[in-house]
Amino acid sequence: MNLEERISRRLRRTHGRQFVRDYAALSPAAHPEEPVGRGAMLERLLDALEPTFAGELPPSTYLWGPKGSGKTAVVRATVLQLAAVSRNQREGIHTTTRKQRPPTPPFVYVDAREASSEFALLASVLDGLVDRPAPTQGVSTADIRSRIDRQLDDRDGAVVAVDHLGEPRTMTAGAVAEVLTGFDAPVSWLGVGRTPPAESDAAPEITLQLGAYNRHALVDVVTDRTSRGLSRDALTHEQIREIATRADGDAHDALAGVVGGAVIAQRRGNTTIFPDDLDAGIEAVPSPCVALGRVLALPTNWTRVLAVLIDLDAGARDSVTEATRAIAATEGIELSESTVRRMLYELAEDGILERRPSDAGNGRGRPPSRLEPAFPTLVFRELFDESAD
């Protein structure tokens, strides 16, 4: 189940909640159609994409910046908008006789978290170029390539934006650039990631850097989201300012704190988010915090394992071996102990779980380590419960 589905389920089930009107508007893993507080970067991005307005392909571009700085918000909104423009122009060609402008090339937005292999990336690109869903199995990558070629046959090329590059489970910019070569028509890429260009393995013609939100801009972002996601006065302006300060420029962490505060207020049966609730919500956001989108993009069995793990007693998480036994024995988990163990170690390796020295060892052997989630568990729990039914 992908993020879109999770969120629309969430939307359907928000009846009866008093002060949470719309979790999608609050989710740190979702993004609005209109980014807030990033006007300057939108302009710079449009500058980089300027050639497309004359029907040409833009130079390869890499946009980078820290987590929660609005990279996805800016690029996703822009690319989806331009994709719609291109589609409308194309559909209009048959019905209008007026002199044609050079057509805007097709734009495709791909989240590398949902497309971590060459095959998956190509399938996503094809999917963005056609109306019908592209096959996800049963065909070779060469086949997908020739289908893309067929789609580009009567066009001058395409622009593919690939988000979340260079994460532990996603492709690097260089790998993406490599995959996107070899078509009959040129394909230009727009990469998004946190890695500085100097450490990246690609050679973009343009790089754009985004810094963390300043305090004022982050207040605007949170105000915008809460005004749509929460009922009026669920949070005071003063509380929003405090969130912005404590999140230190990171919109992801700020929103995770808001959702956490809302969840806790609901658990306590409060009719609004009190300072204590918000405090607890913010406290529940680990520091440093892994982006929720990374966790939700894991294969289903992996998120199931995580959901069981965060509900274990503190004692059962005191060693990986203990946690493995408990998880593998849980009803609904159909995995062997050795698989669960490997998953837990890989999650720790990727930074989604943190291993801390534990004093629970029995003296003999290498000391065990305790597993601590490095993602916002309150928000994860909310979204995971949605996908469980």
Partner DNA sequence: ACCTGGTCCCGGGCTCGGTTTT
Partner DNA sequence: AAAACCGAGCCCGGGACCAGGT
In this complex, which beta carbon is closest to DNA, that of residue 16 or of residue 138?
138
Distance CA 202, CA 331 (A): 45
Q: Does 274 help bind DNA (rule: CB under 7 A)?
A: no
Residue identified by tokens 């704190």 is 257
* Choices 17-25, 207-215, 274-282, 298-306; region in contact with DNA by CB under 7 A: 298-306
Q: How far is the CB of 177 from DNA (least distance, A)?
A: 19
CB of 168 to DNA, least distance (A): 11
How near is the Cβ of 128 to DNA at its closest, in Å?
Answer: 16
Q: Which is nearer to DNA, 95 or 137 (CB)?
A: 137
Instruction: Give the sign of the dihedral formed by CA 283, CA 286, CA 292, CA 295.
Output: negative
E strand or H helix at 91, and its extent?
helix 71-92
For residue 179, give the amino acid letter.
Answer: V
Structure tokens at 73: 């918000």
Nearer to DNA, 276 or 337 (CB): 337
**Smallest gap from residue 62 Cβ to DNA (A):** 24
Please, where are the H alpha helices in the chain? 3-12, 23-26, 39-48, 71-92, 118-129, 141-152, 173-179, 215-229, 237-247, 251-267, 275-283, 292-296, 300-311, 320-328, 337-349, 377-388
Interface residue with DNA, options 53, 119, 183, 274 (CB under 7 A): 119
Q: Which residues contact residue 205 at a Cβ distance below 8 angstroms, ignoring those fewer than 6 apart?
A: 59, 60, 61
Helices 377-388 and 300-311 cross at an angle (nearest 10°) of 120
Instruction: Choose the stretch contacting DNA; rule: CB under 7 A; options: 72-80, 134-142, 224-232, 285-293.
Output: 134-142
Following DSSP, what letter does each residue of 271-289 receive, concatenated?
Answer: SS--HHHHHHHHHTS-SS-
CA-based Rg of the chain, rounded to a whole angstrom? 23
Write down the least CB distance from residue 227 to DNA, Å. 38
Separation of first and last alpha carbons in the chain? 12
Q: Which of 212, 319, 353, 373 binds DNA (CB under 7 A)?
A: 319
Q: Which is nearer to DNA, 16 or 365 (CB)?
A: 365
Nearest to 149 by CA among 179, 181, 184, 125: 184
Residues that contact DNA, how many (by CB under 7 A)? 40
Nearer to DNA (CB atom), residue 97 or residue 140: 140
Q: Does 216 participate in binding DNA (rule CB under 7 A)?
A: no
34 half-sphere exposure, CB direction, 13 A CA radius: 4
Residues numbered 322-381 forming contacts with DNA, rule: CB under 7 A: 334-339, 341-342, 345, 348-349, 355, 361-369
Q: Shortest Cβ distance from residue 192 to DNA (Å)?
A: 20
- 46's CB contacts (< 8 A; 6+ apart) are 78
Tell which one of 95, 96, 97, 140 touches DNA (CB under 7 A): 140
Q: Which is nearer to DNA, 26 or 122 (CB)?
A: 122
Q: Output 184 or 337, the one with its CB closest to DNA.
A: 337
Stretch that binds DNA, among 44-52, 110-118, 200-208, 219-227 (CB under 7 A): 110-118
Which residue's CB is nearer to DNA, number 119 or number 274?
Answer: 119
Q: How far is the CB of 11 from DNA (least distance, A)?
A: 26
Q: Give the integer Cα–Cα distance in Å for 156 and 38.
A: 31
Nearer to DNA, 139 or 206 (CB): 139
* CA atoms in the 13 A half-sphere facing the CB of 275: 5
Is the Cβ of residue 129 or residue 285 nearer to DNA in the bound state? 129
Q: Between the CA of residue 388 and those of 1, 273, 286, 385, what are the distances in Å?
A: 10, 27, 24, 5
Binding site for DNA (CB under 7 A): 116-120, 135-141, 143, 299, 301-302, 319-321, 334-339, 341-342, 345, 348-349, 355, 361-369
